[in-house]
Amino acid sequence: MKHINTSFIIGLLLATFIISTDSFSQTYGQNGMVVSDNAVASQVGTDILKKGGNAIDASIATAFALAVTHPQAGNIGGGGFIVYTDATGKSTTIDFREKAPLLATAEMFLDSSGNLVKGSNHEGLKSVGVPGTVAGLYLAHQKYGALPWKDLVQPSVDLAEKGVVLSYALAEHAKNFNASSSSKPQFLKDYYKKPNGEVVKFGELWVQKNLAETLKLIRDKGKDGFYKGAVAQEIASFMKANGGIITLEDLAKYDAIEREAITGTYKDYGIVSMPPPSSGGVAIIEMLNIMEQANLDSIPFNSTQYVHLVAETMRRAFADRAEHLGDPDFNLEMPLERLTSKEFAKMRYENIDMNRASVSDSLKFGQLYDGPNTTHLSVVDKAGNAVSLTYTIEQSYGSGLGSPKLGFIFNNEMGDFNPQPGYTDTGWLIGTNPNIIQPEKRMLSSMSPTIITKNGKPYLVIGSPGGRTIINTVFQTILNVIAYDMPIEKAIEAMKIHHQWFPDQITFEKDLMSPDTQLNLIQMGHTLKGTNNLGRLMGILIPTDGDVYIGAADSSSPDGGAVGY
């Protein structure tokens, strides 16, 4: 799928400092680069770089801008992760994953017989985790920002207050929310309406006055503008009035955490990624370690052997993920060193039969549910500092709920916990302990913001939305760049597969795998399921031999864009 950017976005991109593009639609910059799911937001970030902001500043401004221009996943009502590697190779991460409210219980989504009430963990105000985004961006700024906080929030206030031209993709959402068949919550039906009640159309100006007022409080009061005062009061009273359980105490207690990055190597490259409560970093390092065992020179990209080996690698990493990973503040004994060690990968690799699919053991571990809608942004500044930021409200438009007075959407991230303790099946449910609901626990995530280093310095900044598929699409893009020598855009667009232990099947991009390969894989015992697209990757490559940054936004992102200067 190629970009369906609106004429507005094309105009905006032409007006910026894109230096040139080649046949893969890569964007080149000499001084800095921002790539995100929305070209307007990428422009906001690049403007901050031009004003002397560093990569952390630009990522904060871009994240706030996405909360206005990309509301299906950009947010102040959700949570996420920042992975940061500075120009000298020093790395850290910021964990701003949502938390379970104090009143949450392990059984909160079960009926009186102890079974999951289907859908309940993703619906209604009980599905909302205590938001972390504002606290995370604020902590990142306090520790590593350069420009004043207000300068980073102001562009998003302007976008909300003065309005943005509605893109074709968002206009289609607006239309669908208001179709007569739509069962969406009223909050979403009203989300794209003008004060006169008409739905905003493609190309019209879309103004969000109430969101602008919320953002002004965050601009003026920092973290406290969200977690204390008028915004917190309104969140708590809205929750109380409508069956939610988040209180003022939950909001006041919320803190983002700086955590040591999880690191590994693939041949001469360093891997810097997000540790738990993300499962992404551990799984990506485990999978790259397994792939390192194979001689990829004799396994061509997209061949039957390639797909088989990659799928078997994923199967093993996802089983380990389900067994071991959860919030590190509640799971003190997670074997992270072992899971990311070369010895463990060797053992995992040695039991792969290169001629036959193995079978996922239904009595052991199932899959974790993660929503498909999340968003990623990558930033590099003039000095070479790099930020990989992924954040989410879980499903597209999260819970679909929010206080009209505040103008932002609440996540439905409680759905990322294992909802039925002790119950695991071969379909969608897993009941393993590390990720059972507990008050103040962070739900396990698949978000995988990652930075690959070469000679100790940032080389590739990459991430994606896509629920559990995030881990696998990021893993394959890294492999495409560093093992299969693809340019960044080609690596992003190239055929991807997804296997997650359960269901025991390979999901693949159906137009990009040959029918012969499909037949071969079936004969080896694999079950296949075609899909149109996997991942929406946003990447920046920093070649070591020149002063250039190469950005690429996945063509499956209708409004996405790389903006460099």
468 closest CA partner among 498, 505, 507, 508: 498
Q: Backbone phi, then psi, for 269, in 5-degree steps?
A: -100, 145
Of residues 27 and 392, the one with the C-beta less far from ligand GLY: 392
Two structure tokens written together for 461: 């900044």
Annotated binding residues for L-glutamate, written as ranges, equal: 97, 416, 445-446, 467
The full 3-state SS of 393-434, as one line of letters, equals CCCCCCCCCCCCCCCCCCCCHHHHCECCCCCCCCCCCCCCHH
Among 371, 398, 402, 535, binds ligand GLY (CB under 6 A): 371
Known binding-site positions? 97, 416, 445-446, 467
342 phi-psi bin (left φ>0, alpha ψ -120 to 50, beta other): alpha
374 is known as an active-site residue: yes
Question: Would you state the structure tokens that stand for residue 179, as one six-digit string?
Answer: 């179709």
Sheet with 262-266: list strands edge to edge: 27-29, 549-553, 538-541, 457-462, 450-454, 269-273, 262-266
Partners of 263 in the β-ladder: 272
Choose between 394 and 509: whose C-beta lies nearer to ligand GLY: 394
Of 392, 399, 418, 557, the residue at the interface with ligand GLY (CB under 6 A) is: 392
Give whichever of 211 and 470 is closer to ligand GLY, judged by the CB atom: 470
CA distance 361 to 365: 7
Q: Of 379, 281, 384, 365, which is closest to residue 59 (Cα–Cα)? A: 379
Tell which positions 198-237 bind ligand GLY, by CB under 6 A: none
- Residue 446: CB minimum distance to ligand GLY, A: 4
Whether 483 and 317 have beta carbons less than 8 Å apart is answered as: no
Here the tokens at position 196 are 């006169």
What is the per-residue binding string for ligand GLY in 404-443, x denoting contact by CB under 6 A? ---------x--x---------------------------
User: Would you say 39 or 283 has its CB closer to ligand GLY?
Assistant: 283
Q: Per rule CB under 6 A, is residue 273 in the interface with ligand GLY?
A: no
Q: Where are the alpha helices (DSSP H) in 384-530?
A: 469-482, 488-493, 515-523
CB hemisphere CA count around 237 (13 angstroms): 9
Q: Where are the alpha helices (DSSP H) in 222-273?
A: 224-227, 229-242, 248-253
Q: How far is the CB of 444 from ligand GLY (least distance, A)?
A: 8
Residue 311, token pair as written in the block: 């799928």
Least distance to ligand GLY from the beta carbon of 454, Å? 27
Three-class SS of 164-175? EECCHHHHHHHH
Cβ nearer to ligand GLY, comparing 44 with 377: 377
Smallest gap from residue 392 Cβ to ligand GLY (A): 4
x/- track of binding to ligand GLY for residues 314-353 (CB under 6 A): ----------------------------------------
Phi, psi of 460 (to 5 degrees): -140, 125
What DSSP state is assigned to residue 76? S
Is 374 a binding residue for ligand GLY by CB under 6 A? The answer is: yes
Nearest residue to ligand GLY on Cβ basis? 445
Pairing of strands 497-498, 506-509: antiparallel
Q: Which of 178-186, 233-241, 367-375, 485-493 is the region at the interface with ligand GLY (rule: CB under 6 A)?
A: 367-375
Question: One-letter amino acid identity for 266?
Answer: Y
CB 371 to ligand GLY: min, Å: 5
Given the rule CB under 6 A, which of 108-116, 325-333, 369-377, 426-434 is the region that contacts ligand GLY? 369-377
Residue 371 or 434 having the CB closest to ligand GLY: 371
Q: Which of residues 445-474 bind ligand GLY (CB under 6 A)?
A: 445-447, 467
The helix (H) or strand (E) run that includes residue 176 is helix 168-177
The span of 25-33, 99-107, 236-244, 368-376 binding ligand GLY (CB under 6 A) equals 368-376
Q: Is 98 in the site for ligand GLY (CB under 6 A)?
A: no
Q: Which is nearer to ligand GLY, 97 or 216 (CB)?
A: 97
**Strand 33-36, strand 561-564: pairing:** antiparallel
By CB under 6 A, name the one of 394, 493, 504, 559 that touches ligand GLY: 394
Nearest Cα to 39, choosing from 541, 538, 540? 538
Helix or strand (DSSP H, E) at 270: strand 269-273
Query: Smallest distance, Å, CB 110 to ligand GLY?
Result: 21
Residue 392 or 420: the one with the smaller Cβ distance to ligand GLY is 392
Does 95 bind ligand GLY (CB under 6 A)? Our answer is no
* CB 34, CB 4: distance < 8 Å: no
**69 vs 392, which CB is nearer to ligand GLY?**
392
Candidates 370, 489, 509, 559: give the one binding ligand GLY (CB under 6 A): 370
Number of residues that bind ligand GLY (CB under 6 A): 11
Q: Which strands form 528-531's sheet, in the order they lie side by side?
A: 497-498, 506-509, 528-531
CB of 121 to ligand GLY, least distance (A): 12
Least Å from the CB of residue 45 to ligand GLY: 22
Catalytic annotation, pick one of 247, 304, 374, 473: 374
Q: How far is the CB of 374 from ligand GLY (least distance, A)?
A: 5
Contact 159, 69 (CB under 8 A): yes
- Give contact residues for ligand GLY (rule: CB under 6 A): 370-371, 374, 392, 394, 413, 416, 445-447, 467
Active site residues: 374
